[in-house]
Chains A and B, each alone.
Chain A
């Protein structure tokens, strides 16, 4: 069981997709009315996503918090002629990201309850997407990783393109092309790394170990190119300024659940990749490039916040806030201290919870009023008190109020960056801290304009408060925001050994290089 559990988690959603497909084939043609069928599709999907979440929680029981290496691994030859193994497992870096994914998915399904267009296909794409995302986080073979990295594109492309807003075609194609450009160059780097390592396997753990033990030495020049190829793929995904332009389009045009998943999980594939590949595999180059990356991250923090501030559209505002928040994560990753790396990892989870919830909140009022313009709202706290409370907590967690999750992550990142030995790290930390203030400005200002004051428009006066389904979706997010804000060690203890291993990989190599 221990070695199969990861595969079960990864492929359970795919099984759900197959179930929907068969259900449609058998029952779709029997004259059952569409509304009833659609309802069944939703429940089946919800069942499979919750089941996946339940199984993923079981990994916590097997997980040994004192170990840095991958656990619950399964390794079997897959394409032997190409040296590819089916190799999956989780470590401290990936465990919470896996659980985040399985946690966000049922919520996204609940957020999609009012989708009425082609429900079956929609749900199938959602489930395939879940398998792809989980696969990215659990793969310990570069080939497998690439495979899942690319597979996530297709369902997301359809979700945006078919169920999205007005400019969905443009947004979908931009999303696809941007990501593919990066990932194909990463493929070349993967092939090159495979041959450099003696053409035996694509094993991430083995290659990382060979590099940090000095058994595999790559000339600095080659390292730089490989690092750039990987970094490009991941920075597009993050997205790091100036590669972020696909993100606002994709977010604004995607359906609510698409935005939740995009912000909640897909972007983390980028920051996860930086931590899994760039840092431990190319420590010297990572070190050399750290000031550059931190500069871009800080620009992203400030730029994202400033652009978010002037958005008249709520969804776009939240989208730009993502650019700003992910900047913090990159800042933390390239500060190479234990706190900053822990903080970066924690901030990935926070961002998934908080920004996912923000998109959910925007989606709730959009479903009622079919507009996302801030100016169209005002004073909706009066008709929707429950909603307003939730929105408020979520926004406060996103802007980093103490006792809520965002604070812990940003605090750790800034402390870590302050004590970092990377040149100019202190300056970056100070400028980055400004971003925290700016995020308070744009979020609170939005809340003020949307929630508080007198009801300006007649349509807003009789808006319905949250129904049971929306509560079921939002309350777990709020609960997590509070739990993660109050008891961070519950989560950080599991990540510590793996994060330290990454940090050590960078440090030891740099010390060796200096000698």
Chain B
């Protein structure tokens, strides 16, 4: 291969470069400042994310690199889908950094490592979103995972956090192994790791040994299924989410999930969508129906088990599983639009909810039982009304972002193919179930009496900013979703077309 064929373009990976460099810079600042420079580091992280956003905007407008191309010999792609998921990832990163200030201060934890780990995790996520090659997917996934394993155990003297971190590490590695093995088999079958290359190989029928491809795809499905916490690969989620610091839980449930969805979509909706030939058709039909079943299982198990939870973090962990299920309903339509919108809305409302919980739970996450919140409703109106709004949004009650997200997913699934309409009905029944447990904390907060000895939590500037941003986001997505939906529509590109035709 000629050097020129690599098609090197540093601006195409500018977001990843900026995030990684910011992570390094934070480590250096931390090393050379006398006492952990929390504020400086937070500021640097925010600036880093700001520059990343600028780089993404530059890519979006096409000022630096032509749109729709691929770079580094197909490793990196620049298209709408990548950029939209990258935006979600950066938004999650910014919210996490804003939340982290108070967490680190209250618990007297070192700040430098935390912020740099968030930056590195985000860099990994951005890589997953931009990956045009299975190798790149794997690299991004590992970068993200290792950083989040450490973040989950960031309270290193807390037994629950240790358990959470170790569980996450062991099961995460297990899932990664599945994914890697799947990649190897797919490579064996198609002779390439490039996602578009795989699609072409399948379309041309040049498969070395068809069963190999199917087994490989199945293993990748398992790997991705683990990472997005879909049933039956969800068992790690509640323990990990409960044990990790609240802020890290919020981060894990939104950012990495969105990134994995991006890679998952690209591999399956692009790579494995070649309806023309025998093995391609089998593959596509199989993964679509398997995913439909997984979506049903994920929604139902998530929602039904959430009904019985007494701990709010565990409840939201199961709710997170259920939401992955709704996003999967969008996934099987083959359009990334509903999935991306869903994950964006989910990120905003979920981080908002966890921000309130971080405050109400107090340092060390001491109060995470739902009954701990009895009567706080009118005592801390900002926190409790915000939490109520986020919960109603998670339940999909208008006029919130959660409603539009569900509506968009249901609408797309109904539109895509008559064969999948039953999924919409199942999803609606699930939404009804979910309303019960989302209402429960509201009941406890507002309708129950306040026990004696309640002291108001002090809400710092960072958390206030997060609440303002997420509340604005929930209502923006709920009342004026046109801008975001328009951007998603613009990007209904290659990813969609192939699969849509397959259904018709």
Contact = CB atoms under 8 A, between A and B. Distances in A.
B425 interface: yes
B435 interface: yes
Contact of B397 (A80, A150, A181, A185): A150
B448 to A, nearest CB: 8
Given A147-B399, A187-B410, A192-B414, A82 B447 contact: no
B486 A184 contact: no
A267 B201 CA distance: 61
B37 interface: no
Contacts of B399: 147, 151
A82 B483 CA distance: 12
Interface stretch (A90-98, A168-176, A376-384, A494-502): A168-176
Interface residues of B, number: 33
Nearest to B337: A81
A162 B447 contact: yes
Nearest to A194: B411
B424 interface: yes
A184 B485 contact: no
B439 interface: yes
A263 to B, nearest CB: 22
A19 B408 CA distance: 33
Q: Is the interface of A mostly helix, strand, loop or mixed?
A: helix
Contacts of A121: 378
A43 B141 CA distance: 59
A194 B414 CA distance: 10
Interface in A67-108: 78-82
B493 to A, nearest CB: 16
A79 B481 contact: yes
Contacts, number: 81
Contact of A81 (B397, B439, B446, B482): B482
A187 B428 contact: yes
Contacts of A187: 407, 410, 428
Nearest to A24: B381
Contacts of B481: 79, 81-82
Interface string B358-402: 000000000000000000011000000000000010000111000
Contacts of B298: none
Contacts of A79: 404, 480-482, 485
Contact of B428 (A176, A177, A188): A188
B415 A195 contact: yes
A188 B410 contact: yes
Interface residues of A, number: 34
B398 A150 contact: yes
A173 B441 CA distance: 12
Given A80-B482, A150-B398, A168-B447, A118 B414 contact: no
A392 interface: no
B425 A173 contact: no
A388 B489 CA distance: 65
A408 to B, nearest CB: 37
Contacts of B21: none
Contacts of B489: 81
A105 B410 CA distance: 36
A177 B378 contact: no
B411 A82 contact: yes
Given A157-B439, A188-B410, 20 more contacts: A80-B486, A81-B485, A81-B486, A81-B488, A81-B489, A82-B404, A150-B403, A161-B443, A161-B446, A168-B447, A169-B443, A169-B448, A172-B447, A176-B439, A177-B432, A180-B435, A184-B428, A185-B428, A188-B425, A194-B411
28 contacts: A78-B482, A79-B480, A79-B485, A80-B486, A81-B481, A81-B486, A81-B488, A82-B408, A82-B481, A150-B398, A150-B403, A151-B398, A161-B443, A162-B377, A162-B447, A169-B443, A169-B447, A173-B436, A176-B439, A177-B435, A177-B436, A180-B432, A184-B432, A185-B428, A188-B410, A188-B414, A194-B411, A199-B415
